Amino acid sequence: VVAADDGVMPQTIEHLDILTLLGVNKGWIAITKIDMVDDKDWISLIELDIKECLLKRGFQPLSVNRINNLNGDGIKVLKSNIIKSISNQKDEYSSEYFRMNVDRVFSKTGFGTVVTGTVLNGMATIGDDIETFPEKIKTKIRGLQCHGGKTEKVVTGDRAAINLSNIKPNILNRGSVICTPGIMKPTNKIIANITIVESTEWIIKNNQRLRCHFGTSEVLGRVRSLETKILEKGNNANFILVLESSITIAMDDKFIIRSYSPMHTIAGGIVLYQNLKGNSLKVSDFSKLMPLDPKERFAYLIKS
């Protein structure tokens, strides 16, 4: 969303960087507040600027829509474009196991603890056993809602509110993970492939302290490599990431990296391997050769 009277702003660039780092490379463009601009040529220039900005990042605009905020002109067309684009879309299930990052926790009278989030993997139904991390508490699903209505199940991509049995709300937090029991465990040392965005002037140095955003959690950590001393914009490399608190993640999860201070989005990462153990030299050799491609990585891990 870009305002016609402002055009592309620093936050526009940051939002695009975050989207593409997380693997989102297409979407609908809304140029809002066209009622604030009398010159239609100016709006056309804004549209051209947006398209150039998207092209640099490999982001495909599914439609570009001009929106009048006062009378709503353009909203129906935008909705129609969205529905048309997704009508033939098939659901993709990356795992049969259920997993959801918690973004909100609250207590509801008569029901108890409720957590909300977007289902990342799999399916959950009422009565299923569930495990919470990093708390390592096993519980059951007492009730489910999806987009405000009661439901018997939630699946990948759904916005879900999950009522958990026999667990106090103050135990869970934004950043907690709930999933099928026995499939995950917390870790604070991983191998990740890190890419610095083109729009930053920051570099990443060995042992630098950074803010890492996994799912709905923010964790401080340091990047370490005996091979790569400095990583500059537009480049990528494998690093060992030593975190200051435990997280619950899976291989191939994508995450965002921001500078410690002042805070700017500077890079993104892909988890290549979690639960890393061993001495520094051996682990460093193991990490620098870790393939990015999942199939090649699988073969590498078998041979290692």
Q: Which residues contact 11 (CB under 8 A, 6 or more apart)?
A: none
| Helix (H/G/I), strand (E/B), else coil: 180 | coil
Angstrom CA distances, 26 to 43, 64, 82, 86, 246, stand at: 22, 12, 12, 12, 32
- What whole-number distance in Å separates Cα of residue 251 and Cα of residue 244? 19
| Helix (H/G/I), strand (E/B), else coil: 80 | helix
Task: Tell me the one-letter amino acid at 84.
Answer: K
Task: Note the pLDDT of residue 40.
Answer: 87
Task: Note the pLDDT of residue 95.
Answer: 77
Q: Which residues contact 85 (CB under 8 A, 6 or more apart)?
A: 28, 62, 63
- What whole-number distance in Å separates Cα of residue 297 and Cα of residue 302? 9
263 with 211: CB under 8 angstroms?
Answer: yes
Query: Is the whole-model pTM more than 0.95?
Result: no
30 phi, psi to nearest 5 deg: -115, 115
pLDDT, greater one: 286 or 94: 286
Task: Note the pLDDT of residue 281.
Answer: 62
Q: Tens digit of pLDDT for each residue in 263-294?
A: 999 999 999 999 888 666 678 788 888 999 99
Tokens of 181: 């029991």
Model confidence band, residue 88 (pLDDT cutoffs 50, 70, 90): confident
Give the alpha-carbon dihedral of 76, 159, 124, 27, to 10 degrees. Answer: 60
User: For residue 122, is it left (φ>0), alpha (ψ between -120 and 50) or beta?
Assistant: left
Q: What is the mean pLDDT of residues 9-34?
A: 95
Tokens of 152: 């018997």
Task: Note the pLDDT of residue 279.
Answer: 65
Helical H segments across 1-87, by residue range: 10-21, 40-56, 75-86
Task: Note the pLDDT of residue 192.
Answer: 96
Q: Tens digit of pLDDT for each residue in 185-233?
A: 999 999 999 999 999 999 999 999 999 999 999 999 999 987 788 999 9
Q: What is the mean pLDDT of residues 125-151?
A: 94
237 phi, psi to nearest 5 deg: -165, 160
- What whole-number distance in Å separates Cα of residue 4 and Cα of residue 262? 29
